Structure 1
Amino acid sequence: MEHTRFARFGMVCTVDHLASTAGLSMLDQGGSAADAAIAANAVLAVTAPHACGLGGDLFALVHEGGGAPQALNASGRSGSGADPGRLRAEGHDRMPFQRDIRSVPVPGCADGWMALHARYGRLPLAELFAPAIRYADEGFPASPLLAPAAAVLPGVDAALAPGDLIRRPGVARTLETLAADGRDGFYLGEFGKGLLALGRDGAAGGSGEGEYTEADLERVNADWVEPLRARAFGHDVWTIPPNSQGYLLLLALAIADRLDLPRDPSDPLWAHLLAEAARAAGHDRPDVLFEGASVDGVLASAAERRATIDPSRRARLRDLTSSGDTTYLCAVDSEGMGVSLIQSNAAGFGSMLFEPATGINLHNRGIGFSLVPGHPAEYGPGRRPPHTLAPALVTRPDGSLRAVLGTMGGDSQPQILLQVVARLLASGESPGQAIGAPRWRVGPGLTGFDAWSEPDEASLDVEQGAGWTEGLQERGHPVRGLPYGGAFGYAHLIDVRPDGVLAGAADPRALISSAAGR
């Protein structure tokens, strides 16, 4: 089924039609693509707490005019009380997954919005937040994705049916304060005080001495950084540098660009080669990915890693040597600015801990830290954890914007984007075809964040309707069939055609997703 939507003067793609509509309304009021992205994300922070919110982190790429995009890392840091030795003494060999404040770095979302707005915003924050505040204050209809799990939210006493109203007055109050008082109103106000108290209480196992200090909350969590780039299929693909895992997308694309890839994605060889490119790129991620890591050498190993790929069989990765949940949205405005933004709790509802005054759920991005002594990504004070978030942006050789795209999906994000980019650029599919087509993924383990712990043992999960199973099994892949749906991510894409027409697609797997244009 074709899901491509077309527009001329702006487009917003999100997982929720309420958010897409809010973003589009900002474009109608003269706002920039960044304004639209912030407004849409603010609505999602209200209506999609199972995927994102003010208690999570944010990354974004912004392309304006030509050349390289600007890259924003708004991921938070662990508190000053972070103590890996205490966790190990308690018997932990990995970070607690949920219900433990120690897996909650200071959330970076609000700082990310402030940084985007300061550089690219045209409308006042109060206008950008107005739709989200109204939904939070007066109520919004629960989506089919949220309704079954909504009972975990403060003030919701039972599972809801889709369309039942939910109100989140604490989030409305927080957004009003953020608009009026800036980041200090959030980090040093009601929310920040509640976070400090949770850190002192230790939730389900903290030290009792305090996970955070006020200085941790005063520190801004948004940095403009140098983006990473790789050439593939005649285009430049851009993403966020570490602590993001975005380099895996670029490395897999550079490997795939060296392969004799069938033009027809229905060919099992297409799936096999791309899956092997993803496996060759990602198998050593636990050793490579940490804050501040230089991946230039890793990206330069594309030819070497390509040499390990056999068209006829699956590689055995241990023989090689080597030098959730989330929401994604994108927006393009009438002046050609493109924004690729991803924002996340990590797992569904994050840590399952809520700041009590505002009802804002806290992410659990700290699960990306290592508890191996001396590991470069070891949990410790003031550190950013390895991150699965990996927004992408594509430019033509002349530097003009070709596409903005991204997806949720934990460890699978680079794999999903690899398939979408290959379909768009190498196979010439429309955005709707590239987004709606069945996908594969390397089995992500029990939590969705374990794909590379035992990569030779991981299954190759194949979405219903793909038609690749027999050909992949013949090549040695342990295939597991799964239903078509959210297990394979919610991806969105806006393609900027040479004539200026915008062709976009929001993922049909999300049921209420929307590509809204003007």
Structure 2
Amino acid sequence: MATAQRPPALSANAMVSSSHPAASLAGARVLADGGNAIDATLAMAALTWLTLPGQCGIGGDAFAVVREPDGRVWTVNGSGYGPDGGTPEFYAAQGLSSIPLDGPLAVAVPGAVAALRALHLGGATRELEQLWEPAARIAGDGLPCSARTAGDVVTALGDSAPAVGSRVPQPELAATIRRLARDPEGFYTGEFAQRAVAALQAGGAPFSGDEWTAGAEVNPEPAITGRYAGAVVHQTPLPTPGWMVLQQAALCDGVVGFSGWLSAEAIDRLARAARLTFADRLALCASDNDGSRYVLTPDRIEAQRRDLDCGTEARGPVEVRAGDTTSTVVVDAEGRAVSFIHSLAFTFGAKFTVPGTGVILNNRLARGAYLIPGHPNEVAPRRKPLHTLNAWVVTDDAGALLHVGNTPGGDGQVQWNMQLLSHVLDHGLDPAEAVSAPRFTVFPGSDADVVGSPDELRVEQSLPAGVRRQLAAAGHRVVDQPALGGGGSAQLISVDERGVLAGAADPRQEGVALGVD
């Protein structure tokens, strides 16, 4: 069993968990005031725009899985299109082999506001103005700068960082939050949309404005589901890589659980299954094709299981990149659960701000779309780039809630989420043990910008040295990482047979789980 840095939080009623204490407190306050899990999620989302501004924002994307008290599960999927003029010929004419990661060309239409609006319409009990006013007030007053944000400013922007603890008021952002709380559709059709599209066009990005308006259309969708260790795993659908978690689960079910916890045999299987999913994503999948459905067909899964049993698997030529994202999980007193995740893609996204609004735009198009002629995921007008974000809920066959979780971390997400599932379903770890367990990550993955990196298995040094030697002997190129240095910030809430909630936030960031009784 893992040795947790601290025990899980416990509650007989409701619970929240996030990567920042202020965000968790915001969600807990909403629950204590009688709000539900959707209300709490919306409040936490707005707070994290301020507490983790490099990781998420109004100009990013957002996804959620919601499990209702009656067992029904639904999702919202907020990611936008590339520009209408973003044809392969447009980028080729500029001599580009990949889309630049910074600036207007990197941007896809943000989906976060549309997703949050759909989530609100799907079951909130409080108005957005009430839920987002605390964030607007804090933006206007200035939140004390954290060490994480100061480091992000230096690393990603190359600027002198504000002093840790200093307050940086953002009156333009405060005004934008209040305006969008009154009219979230205005992000896509009103003055904000006009200002954003004009700024992008002035910077050379081939937006028409019509694709921006189309980004407002986000409706609830069914989750995609699979099985693992006798439980049902509910995941976000395309353009997210939720299917990659389900594929790994299908390839590892009945194998990893019979190996010792974090044994070389278990890690070997999980690592090679992850490599197969990245190879399939690269070769077959786009946000608007059937590649992921084919990958999950029983015959294909059985053939890949045979390959893994024989010790063979495909390799993918594109490097995993960690990315910057943040996530929350909530369970309310009625048993409603929400797993939510949002991101700007890389730190501070495209590093491009809509003038006069305080809103930084994402670089999801550059991160997720390829300039590879004929590729299923080649950039194209009105095609959503493939995503790294995904979120999940686990139930039993009758629909009873067992676990709700997620983690940020770019292409690490699908791997670390699978590891969390194995920790809790195969080995019975509690949430604190699961989120703090030694983490491992295969490279390469499937981000668009770095091609041809060598295969690696990156392993935190808290994994015993003997296991690392066994993995090297099995043919893995093992690269050590510091203990708790492997990336991610997992959030997890579990429900036991008595209905008691246990939750924990990953010690790799400063998050906290809070019970509300």
Correspondence for 2:319: none
Q: 1:486 to 1:115 in 2, by over 3 A?
A: farther
Q: 1:422-501 maps to which residues of 2 (within 5 A)?
A: 422-444=422-444, 449=447, 454=452, 457-467=454-464, 468-485=467-484, 487-501=486-500
Single out whichever of 114-123 and 255-264 deviates more from structure 2: 255-264
**What CA deviation, in whole Å up to 9, does each residue of 1:137-185 have, x standing for no partner?**
111122221122336999x97313332222222221111001222321x
Tell me by how many angstroms 1:476 deviates.
Answer: 0.3
Report deviation, 1:71.
Answer: 1.3
Alignment of 1:172-321 (within 5 A): 172-184=174-186, 186-202=187-203, 206=204, 210-213=206-209, 216-217=212-213, 219-259=215-255, 261-294=257-290, 295-300=292-297, 301-310=300-309, 315-317=312-314
8 Å Cα contact 2:372-2:378 kept in structure 1: yes
Q: Deviations over 1:494-516 (max 9, x none)?
A: 11222221111111101x20111
Q: 1:354 to 1:152 in 2, by over 3 A?
A: farther
Question: For residue 31 of structure 1, what is the amino acid of its counterpart?
Answer: G
**1:414/1:151 CA distance change after superposition, 3 Å:** closer
CA distance in 1, matches of 2:56, 2:211: 25
For residue 420 of structure 1, report the CA deviation from its aligned partner. Answer: 0.7
- The alpha-carbon deviation at position 316 of structure 1 amounts to 4.9
Distance change (3 Å), C-alpha of 1:454 and 1:250: farther
1:124 to 117, 122, 127: 127
Query: What CA RMSD, in Å, does the superposition of the two structures yield over aligned residues?
Result: 2.3
Identify the range of structure 1 (498-507 vs 189-198) with the bigger mean alpha-carbon deviation: 189-198
Q: Deviations along 1:200-250, whole A, 9 cap, x unmatched?
A: 212xxx25xx42315633541423223211111010001112211111100
Q: Identify which of 151, 161, 164 aligns with 1:162.
A: 164
Describe the shift of the 1:256–1:219 C-alpha distance in structure 2 as closer, same or farther (beyond 3 A). Answer: closer
* The one of 42, 49, 53 aligned to 1:49: 53
CA 1:465–1:286 in 2, change beyond 3 Å: closer, same or farther? same
TM-score w.r.t. the length of structure 1 is 0.91
1:243–1:373 Cα change, 3 Å: same
* In 2: Cα distance, 1:416 partner to 1:426 partner: 15
Alpha-carbon spacing, 1:215–1:417, altered in 2? closer, same or farther (3 Å): closer
CA contact (8 A) 1:451 1:458 kept: no
Name which of 22, 27, 36 aligns with 1:23.
27
Decide whether the 8 Å contact of 1:3 with 1:436 is kept in 2: no
Amino acid paired to 2:192: F
8 Å CA contact 2:460–2:485 kept in 1: the answer is no
Q: State the 1:388 CA deviation.
A: 0.7
What's 2:320 paired with?
none
Q: Partners of 1:413 and 1:452 in 2: how far apart?
A: 18
**C-alpha separation between the residues in 2 aligned to 1:159 and 1:452?**
28
Tell me what 1:421 maps to.
421
Identity of aligned residues (%): 34
Letter in 1 for 2:110: P
Change (3 A) 1:59 1:30: same
The corresponding residue for 1:411 is 411
Q: Is 1:190–1:358's contact at 8 Å kept on the other side of the alignment? A: no
Q: Does 1:76 align with 2:80?
A: yes
- Aligned amino acid, residue 198 of structure 1: A
- Candidates 87, 90, 108, aligned match of 1:86: 90
Amino acid corresponding to residue 147 of structure 1 in structure 2: A
Q: If the length of structure 2 is used for normalisation, what is the TM-score? A: 0.91
- The amino acid of 2:364's aligned partner reads R
Q: Tell me the CA shift for residue 374 of structure 1.
A: 3.4
Q: Distance in 2 between matches of 1:153 and 1:441?
A: 23
Instruction: Report the CA distance between 1:262 and its aligned residue.
Output: 4.2
- Please tell me whether residue 113 in structure 1 is matched to residue 116 in structure 2: yes
Residue type of the alignment partner of 1:174 = T
Q: Distance in 2 between matches of 1:68 and 1:129?
A: 27
Amino acid at match of 1:239: Q
* 8 Å Cα contact 1:443/1:461 also seen in 2: yes
Partner SS for 1:339: strand
Shift of 1:486: 5.5
CA distance in 2, matches of 1:124, 1:153: 35
**368-377 or 71-80, which deviates more:** 368-377
1:401 aligned residue: 401
Please identify runs of 4+ aligned residues in structure 1 that moved more than 4 A. Answer: 151-154, 450-455
- Structure 1 residue 12 displacement after superposition: 1.0
- Which amino acid in 1 is paired with 2:83? G
Q: Offset at 1:452?
A: 9.9
TM-superposed deviation, 1:93: 2.0
Work out the CA distance in 1 between the residues paired with 2:289 and 2:396. Answer: 28
For residues 300-332 of structure 1, give each alpha carbon's deviation from its aligned partner in whole angstroms, at most 9, with x where no partner exists. 222211111248x6x35259xxxx111111111
Separation in structure 2 between the aligned mates of residue 328 and residue 351 of structure 1, nearest angstrom: 20
Cα distance, 1:13 vs structure 2 = 0.8
Matched AA of 1:272: D
Change (3 A) 1:153 1:471: closer
How much has 1:278 moved relative to structure 2? 1.5
Q: Could you tell me how far 1:431 is from its partner in structure 2?
A: 0.5
The question of whether the paired residues in 1 share the 8 Å contact of 2:55 and 2:347 is answered with yes
Q: Which residue of 2 aligns with 1:517?
A: 515
CA 1:235–1:441 in 2, change beyond 3 Å: closer, same or farther? same
Report the residue type matching 1:181 in the other structure: D
> In 1, distance between residues paired with 2:482 and 2:156?
28
Q: How many residues align?
A: 500
Tell me which amino acid in the other structure corresponds to 1:180: R
